[in-house]
Amino acid sequence: MGKIRVLDESLVSLISAGEVIENPASIVKELIENSLDANATNIDIRIEKGGIDSITVSDNGEGILKEDCPVVTIRHSTSKIASRDDIERIMTYGFRGEALASIAAVADLEVTTRHKDEEIGSCIKSRAGQIPDITDATRPQGTTVDVRNLFSTIPARRKHLAEPRVESQRVLAAIMKHAIVRNDVGFRFLRDEKTVFDCPSNQTPQERIRALLGPDVADNLIEVNYSNRIVIKGFVTNPIISRGNRGREFFSIRKRPISDPSLERVVETAYSSLLMRGRYPIFVLDIELEPEKVDPNVHPTKKEVRVQDFDLIRETLGFVITNVLLDIKPAVRSESLEYLVESEMVEQEETSIFPDADSARAEGRALLLEETMLVEPVPSNVAELDIKEIGRILNILGQVSMVYIVIATENGLVIVDQHAAHERILYEKLKKQVSEGNAMVQELLEPIVLRLGVSEAERVLGLGETLEKLGYSIASFGGNEILISTLPEILGKRASENEMLALVDRILELGEGLAMNEFMDDLVRLTACHAAIRSGQKIGHEEARRLIAELFATEGKYHCAHGRPTIIRISKEELDKRFGRTGPDAIARFRARHRL
């Protein structure tokens, strides 16, 4: 007997389903595209457990005709194409008629729909791989597709799915790709019943970007509007903001999201002199060209669009973006840029504790005074200082150079380094939590994805268990990307990609050969350091007061977690001495004046 057999139809559909349906994100993508093809103006997406348990996509589109219902889950059934000519001019997102059939092959599927021209709707119910059951249903115009128990009948595939938080991040990325360019359509996304975003229909492109990418991006947009044989429209951003991965590079061709490495590289090259190594630009660009030139169904999952004249597109894109960036103020260059990026709360103007600071500075007095204080700290006296002294007369004079808090006490001056002090407070707090095994955790609404070097990603993941004890949840996001979904609570405010990249870099620098407890202590130190108020951050009186009170409640109040002093004191005696009121100089002067 020969070895070759013809596969039966259900097996064939399973295999080909695998090409379209990799994970919940690929289902969501197909369903969104169907809704857009049906001219929906609002699309509502809900997932449970990363979409592994359930995915529901509802729209207010045209709906499906009753007579069409029996065939929607059959392979190669589509309403979007009738003739060869149509293939050439296709304007819809998909026309191979494969998505619903593929989903039905690997999951339980329920489609509830009512066509705009019909009174009675339909409900198509299909259990993984079985013939669907169709009944009447009531529903406003539109379609709801409900997908449950993904891969429940194919354990091998189910095992391949990542943890829910990783899958849900992929779903979010898939939705973003569409939502960012289709600002005309309302998109709502709920994850485990929590709203991740809710964008109304008919937003301006800028409003949509603000809603999805945040104010930092929205405030730094540079419009691109080029129209010739090829039309390129959208936004790039001022290089003062950037990302550590390609997650904010959005390309579309006629509003159909695509990811094409060669196009990405063109824009990255245009930015290359403006960004640090390892940083990626943020942009949302749509390219338009005649529909004949786009063949969207070449790649089985339609990630890549094959386009004629691709070289021309690349050239034009490079030219357009380079020109747009030339207009940016030349003063803005990488060094100062990085500075801005690193310390997010930079405030340029300095505050001074002295009421007549400006005139004093003009005469060089303030400068002298600051130098004197810095050069001559009196750390040996510090041990005498206690909360009673500081508590009784906590006369905070102000903040110098946005880093030192200056306090007048009964007997001189006390100067606190705000960063060092806060680091000490947080270090002791986190250390206690970790040793008691209950680190406070902050869940991130939108997890952070970082692109690292290959071996780096592996090393960080290898530290996963240790990091978990501090409150970091880190998972692989595929390739050399990692996904951070929770952070130690004390770091919550600093949950930005830049911060996390810097932190991960430093975590990897920690001695690998260290004993476990030492390593843990280093991690706690590092976390505290990153979470602490930075120098350069303005703080108010009340905040300063609280900081000092908390500092005095710590055990090692005189030093930060790294051993630098948190407080220095300049006693009245020291001041007297320096002003020549006491000491040998004063006696000599007294003598001279009185000719003794």
Kindly list the residues in this chain that would bind Mg ion in the complex (CB under 5 A).
34, 94, 99
Contact predicate 180/209, CB 8 Å:
yes
Q: Is 72 in the site for ligand ADP (CB under 6 A)?
A: yes
Q: By C-beta, is 304 or 309 nearer to ligand ADP?
A: 304
Q: How far is the CB of 283 from Mg ion (least distance, A)?
A: 27
Q: Is 38 in the site for ligand ADP (CB under 6 A)?
A: yes
Beta bridge partners of 559: 565
Q: How far is the CB of 141 from ligand ADP (least distance, A)?
A: 10
Q: Which of 353, 342, 374 is nearest to 568 (CA)?
A: 374
Among 13, 23, 26, 35, binds ligand ADP (CB under 6 A): 35
Q: How far is the CB of 138 from ligand ADP (least distance, A)?
A: 17
Query: Could you give the C-alpha distances from 233 to 242, 378, 517, 548, in angstroms and in order?
Result: 20, 62, 54, 53
Q: Is 98 in the site for ligand ADP (CB under 6 A)?
A: yes
Query: Could you give the C-alpha distances from 506 to 378, 419, 448, 470, 503, in angstroms and in order?
Result: 32, 18, 17, 16, 5
Q: By C-beta, is 17 or 463 nearer to ligand ADP?
A: 17
Q: Is the dihedral of CA 15, 17, 19, 22 positive or negative?
A: negative
Q: By C-beta, is 99 or 274 nearer to Mg ion?
A: 99
Q: How many residues bind ligand ADP (CB under 6 A)?
A: 23
DSSP result, 461-514 = HHTHHHHHHHT-EEEE-STTEEEEEEEEGGGGGG--HHHHHHHHHHHHHS-TTS
Q: Is 121 in the site for ligand ADP (CB under 6 A)?
A: no
Among 56, 78, 399, 498, binds ligand ADP (CB under 6 A): 78
Q: By C-beta, is 74 or 549 nearer to Mg ion?
A: 74
Contacts 24+ apart (CB under 8 A), 304-307: 304/258, 304/259, 304/260, 305/253, 305/256, 305/258, 305/260, 307/253
Q: Is 497 in the site for ligand ADP (CB under 6 A)?
A: no
Q: Is 79 in the site for ligand ADP (CB under 6 A)?
A: yes
Q: Is 186 in the site for ligand ADP (CB under 6 A)?
A: no
Q: By C-beta, is 71 or 575 nearer to Mg ion?
A: 71
User: What is the C-alpha to C-alpha distance for residues 228 and 251, in angstroms, rounded to an integer?
Assistant: 18
Q: How far is the CB of 38 from ligand ADP (least distance, A)?
A: 3
Query: Could you give the C-alpha distances from 337 to 215, 277, 323, in angstroms and in order?
Result: 18, 13, 20
Strands 481-488 and 473-476: antiparallel
Q: By C-beta, is 62 or 481 nearer to ligand ADP?
A: 62
Contact predicate 28/55, CB 8 Å:
yes
Q: Is 126 in the site for ligand ADP (CB under 6 A)?
A: no
- Write the CB contacts of 280 (distance below 8 Å, at least 6 apart in sequence): 242, 243, 244, 245, 246, 248, 249, 268, 451
Q: How far is the CB of 201 from ligand ADP (least distance, A)?
A: 16
Q: What is the x/- site pattern for ligand ADP, positions 40-59, by CB under 6 A? A: -------------------x
Structure tokens, 155: 């354990």
Q: Which of 422, 418, 388 is nearest to 401 (CA)?
A: 418
Q: Which does 230 bind (CB under 5 to 8 A by kind): Mg ion, ligand ADP, none?
A: none
Phi-psi region of 416 (alpha: psi -120 to 50; beta: other; left: phi over 0): beta
Among 143, 352, 498, 527, binds ligand ADP (CB under 6 A): 143
The phi and psi torsions of 142 (rounded to 5 degrees) equal 135, -170
Q: By C-beta, is 30 or 417 nearer to ligand ADP?
A: 30
Q: Which does 63 bind (CB under 5 to 8 A by kind): Mg ion, ligand ADP, none?
A: ligand ADP
Q: How far is the CB of 218 from ligand ADP (least distance, A)?
A: 30
- Write the CB contacts of 247 (distance below 8 Å, at least 6 apart in sequence): 173, 449, 451
Q: By C-beta, is 63 or 244 nearer to ligand ADP?
A: 63
Q: Which of 437, 462, 451 is nearest to 512 (CA)?
A: 462
Q: By C-beta, is 146 or 481 nearer to ligand ADP?
A: 146
Q: How far is the CB of 294 from Mg ion (least distance, A)?
A: 17
Q: Is 530 in the site for ligand ADP (CB under 6 A)?
A: no
Q: Is 94 in the site for ligand ADP (CB under 6 A)?
A: yes
Interface with ligand ADP by CB under 6 A: which range of 34-42, 329-337, 362-370, 574-582? 34-42
Q: By C-beta, is 35 or 485 nearer to ligand ADP?
A: 35
Q: Using CB under 6 A as the criterion, which residues of the chain lie in contact with ligand ADP when the complex forms?
A: 30, 34-35, 38, 59, 61-64, 72, 77-80, 94-101, 143
